[in-house]
Amino acid sequence: MAIRIAGMAMVLAGGLIALYAQHYMGKSWRIGAAEGHLGAIVDTGPFSLSRNPVFVGQIALFVGLVLVFTTVLQLAIAIVLVIAVMLQVKIEERVLSKELGPSYDAYRQRVRRWL
């Protein structure tokens, strides 16, 4: 029971972190990073702690779901999600570095990818 309660707390916290970080981006929010379609770098608030706080929140949410619904299917879904997020972040970082150049590279040096 304690594990399920911890899982529910992770689901709630992860969802709130993801939503807050997404909202914090304002007009810079995009799904993915397409060349020529980027907003300004957001490097304050949750983005001063992690370059990917939306994804950090989503991962926490899905790990929490594994603790709440302890099934092989839920674990498989969480693993696939984490792999997909890691691949997406690598793609986005290449685009951001190419499009935003030294300002994004300096941000990458200051702030960790995850936490």
12 belongs to a structural domain: yes
Q: Flag whether 14 is in a domain.
A: yes
Q: How far is CA 85 from CA 39, 62, 90, 106, 114, in A?
A: 20, 12, 9, 22, 11
Structural domain contains residue 33? no
| 35 within a domain of the structure (yes/no) | no
Quick check: is 59 in a domain? Answer: yes
**How many domains, the chain?**
1
The pLDDT of residue 3 is above 70: yes
Question: What pLDDT, on a 0 to 100 scale, did the predictor assign at position 96?
Answer: 87
- Residue 78 in any domain: the answer is yes
State the burial class of residue 58 (Cβ atoms within 10 Å of its Cβ: 0-12, 13-18, 19+): buried
Q: What local confidence, expressed as pLDDT, does residue 38 receive?
A: 64
Report the alpha-carbon distance of residue 68 to residue 17 in Å, rounded: 19
> Containing domain of residue 106, as a range?
1-23+40-110
Determine, yes or no, domain membership for 60: yes
Task: Indicate whether 72 belongs to any domain.
Answer: yes
Yes or no: say if 37 and 99 are a contact pair by the CB < 8 Å rule: no
The whole model's pTM is what?
0.87
Least confident of 19-28, 51-60, 68-77: 19-28
| Residue 23 one-letter amino acid | H
pLDDT of 32 reads 64
Confidence of residue 90 (pLDDT cuts 50, 70, 90): very high
